[in-house]
Copies of this chain bind each other. A is one copy, B any other.
């Protein structure tokens, strides 16, 4: 009792319906140049009557034709940050008449490799990747010449267009400001150490200490937290110390939200204690109304997506054929009572 799979009309169906050749139909479909208006009219009518839609797979089979597909590999689609990122990329990609093929890698190098191989098999015109860090399957040989743009993170040894955030500088600036304000024991909550942004944000943290002549206490550096739950646990362990940090730097919004959770939980028990100053790399909802001193290092994830897609489309449409470029998006600081002077 399965419904009969009605065969889609092809260009031939339309041609017969309109009483013209397939070529005339093809010409009308691709702009209508050099076709008698009357015939074009007939073809359009037949297309509408039959509900015909050109088969893009067949069309793109011809050499020189493009698939109109962009492959996008994201580490974690569930992070709102990457939701915004996808939206920005989609704006630009669909604006260029192409479509976005999306897959999630979950920071898994093997998944990333398979996903990219799959994308290439599907003839994507280009790739936008938030890389896990693995290198080999991103080399030009492995990609078969398909243009690649890396977003958020670079990969050592891979020369490709890259859009980054000014991780090191922004982290350096905010940690320096904490030290300037009198903080001497500053905690660090970070992601897996293999994550590029995590490394860079830690580097800014470390340099700020070094330049201030301040010894860095490794006991206050907790890394490996990829989600809110583990970040909450990590923050609690910092707060439970005999000599807890007076400020904590969070390397992404997952860690910041974990820190907030731990602080708000703790503050009910221990009211009156000095508030712990928080710095969060990446914004998060409600950050400004929590009543916790928090400084946000903010940038527009949607804009990051737009930039990455623009670089790629620029390559595809030949607007840019120079050497691979790296763009660093600058950040801005949102101060919600953060980094208060220590008495």
Contacts A57-B57, A117-B53, A121-B56; is A78 near B87 (CB within 8 Å)? yes
Contact call A318/B2, Cβ cutoff below 8 A: yes
Judging by beta carbons under 8 Å apart, are B286 and A286 in contact? Answer: yes
A120 interface neighbour in B53, B94, B122, Cβ under 8 Å: B53
Q: Are B260 and A289 in contact (CB under 8 A)?
A: yes
Q: Mark A38-54, 1 if CB is under 8 A from B, else 0.
A: 00000000000001011
Distance A31 CA – B248 CA, assembled complex (angstroms) = 54
A87 with B104: in contact, given A6-B144, A121-B53 (CB under 8 Å)?
yes
Q: Which residues of B contact A321 (CB under 8 A)?
A: 1-3
Nearest neighbor of A260 in chain B, beta-carbon distance? B286
Q: Does A173 contact B (CB under 8 A)?
A: no
A341 at the interface (CB under 8 A from B): no
- A residues 44-91 with Cβ under 8 Å of B? 51, 53-58, 60-61, 67-69, 77-80, 82-84, 86-87, 90
Q: Can you name the residue of chain B whose Cβ is closest to the Cβ of A93?
A: B103
A236 at the interface (CB under 8 A from B): no
Q: Mark A101-142, 1 if CB is under 8 A from B, else 0.
A: 111100000000001011111110000000000000000011
Kindly list chain B residues whose C-beta atoms are within 8 Å of the C-beta of A6.
144-145
Docked Cα-Cα span, A11 to B35, in Å, equals 37
